[in-house]
Homo-oligomer: A and B are copies of this chain.
Amino acid sequence: MMQKPRIKDVAARAGVGVSTVSVVLNNVEGARVSPETRERILSAARALGYTSNPIARSLRTRRTQTIGFVGDDIATTPFAGRMIQGAQDAAWQAGYLLFLVNTGGEHALERHAVRALLDRRVDGVIYATMYHRHVEIPEMLGDVSTVVLDACPTNGSVPYVVPDERGGAAAAVGELLRAGHRRIGFATESLEVPAASGRLAGYHETLAAARIPADPELVVAEHGDTTGGYRAATRLFDLGERPTAIFCYNDRMAMGCYRAAAERGLRIPYDLSVVGYDDQDLIAPELSPALTTVALPHYEMGTWAVRRLLELIRDDPEQSAQGHLMPCPLVRRDSVGPPPR
């Protein structure tokens, strides 16, 4: 392995000064270089297999073409990977590389991580959480362009992107409405998280828009897992007049709902329609019948975040904060049918 060529080598080979090489290779705007000199330089560079050393460049320009991605937990959720990939792809496309650091949600580690990233002179950072919630971002981030991914910052004023839970819920309920349902239950998550309140709001709004009076009985809260879904569905089934369709807070609850329905001999989608949320790989398509659900736009949020970040980096640093709602598309499968007569 021979030594990497330096700019000086290219200059020597082309018989010009290093600055001219620099100008040519960087396509500097207002620089006039004779076409033939330019060509000579270009071919010299090519012949040598020259690529500039980003480290040296960074030292001079104070920009590293890197961005830091700090996340609280990249491992446990399958969603995390998609966000990271979205971010990575967008960064790569723009010629940036991503530093990934995982904090496990520990505050101390997080501070350390941000510090390490700033030391490394990243041009910006993506601060991500692995599910939609409120977060306080480290104040050190005030020193660098930042965008928050899948969370609402409670301090500072930085752009952020979260799923449009409300719109997703509206799409889900709308689908049920279109199928003819009028009595639609909502099996919600009992935790107070933005996703839950957003989805509940979407549920209510959509029903109201269809002039269907709200029936508090139809909204039941349980844990957001299979068991919770089972419980919620059971409670709904035990109502005087049971709903003909259930919108579940997530696919795991929908799974529990399926089980409860099976036990009662309720066939989906004939006797009961159900729609979930999250579009989880190993659940939604695998259930039988396959579950109609709403997908979380993790990949898209990841790309949005770094695109926005790059804008911040390149344009004036003082932009007004803004939250972006990323649409959650409905994924139609086989768990919705007309209500039984």
Q: Kindly report which residue of chain B lies nearest to residue A69, judged by CB atoms.
A: B100
In A109-124, the 8 Å CB interface with B consists of 113, 115-117, 119-121
- Name the interface residues of A209-260: CB closer than 8 Å to any CB of B: 226, 252, 255
Residue of B nearest to A81 (CB): B75
Is A82 on the interface with B (CB-CB < 8 A)? yes
Residue of A53, A76, A85, A117 with highest tally of chain B CB at under 10 A: A85
27 inter-chain pairs at a CB distance below 8 angstroms, sorted by A residue, are A51-B119, A52-B119, A53-B121, A54-B120, A55-B58, A55-B64, A55-B121, A56-B59, A59-B59, A74-B84, A75-B81, A75-B82, A75-B84, A75-B85, A76-B281, A77-B81, A80-B81, A84-B100, A88-B100, A92-B102, A92-B113, A97-B116, A98-B99, A98-B100, A226-B286, A255-B286, A280-B282
Tell me, yes or no, whether A136 is within 8 Å of chain B by CB: no
Interface: A47 (CB within 8 A): no
A131 close to chain B: CB less than 8 A:
no
State the Cβ distance, A259 to closest chain B Cβ, in Å: 9
Closest 9 CB pairs of A and B: A75-B85, A75-B81, A100-B100, A78-B78, A282-B282, A75-B82, A1-B143, A88-B102, A55-B58
CA–CA, A299 and B102, complex, Å: 13
A283 beta carbon closer than 8 Å to chain B: yes
A264 to B299 CA separation, bound complex (whole angstroms): 42
Contact of A283 among B143, B252, B282 (CB under 8 A): B282
Chain A interface size range: 35 or more
Contact in complex: B119, A53 (CB < 8 Å): yes
Q: List chain B residues, Cβ under 8 A from A116.
A: 97
Q: How far is the CA of A67 from the CA of B113 in the complex (A)?
A: 16
Residues of chain B within 8 A (CB-CB) of A100 are 69, 84, 88, 98-100
By a CB distance below 8 angstroms, the chain B residues around A81 are: 74-78, 80-81
Q: Which of B59, B75, B92, B142 contacts A101 (CB 8 A)?
A: B92
Give the contacts of A39-98 with B (CB-CB under 8 A): 51-56, 58-59, 64, 66, 69, 74-78, 80-82, 84-85, 88-89, 92, 97-98
Whole-angstrom distance between the Cβ of A144 and the nearest chain B Cβ:
9
- Are B101 and A98 within 8 A (Cβ)? yes
Is the Cβ of B85 less than 8 Å from the Cβ of A55?
no
A140 to nearest B CB, angstroms? 10
In the assembled complex, the CB of A258 is this many whole angstroms from the nearest CB of chain B, namely: 12
Instruction: Quote the shortest CB–CB distance from A50 to chain B (angstroms).
Output: 11
B99 contacts A1, C-beta separation under 8 Å: no
B98 touches A85 (CB 8 A): no
Chain B, residue nearest A68 (CB): B97
Residues on B with C-beta less than 8 A from A52 are: 119
Closest chain B residue, CB of each to CB of A85: B75
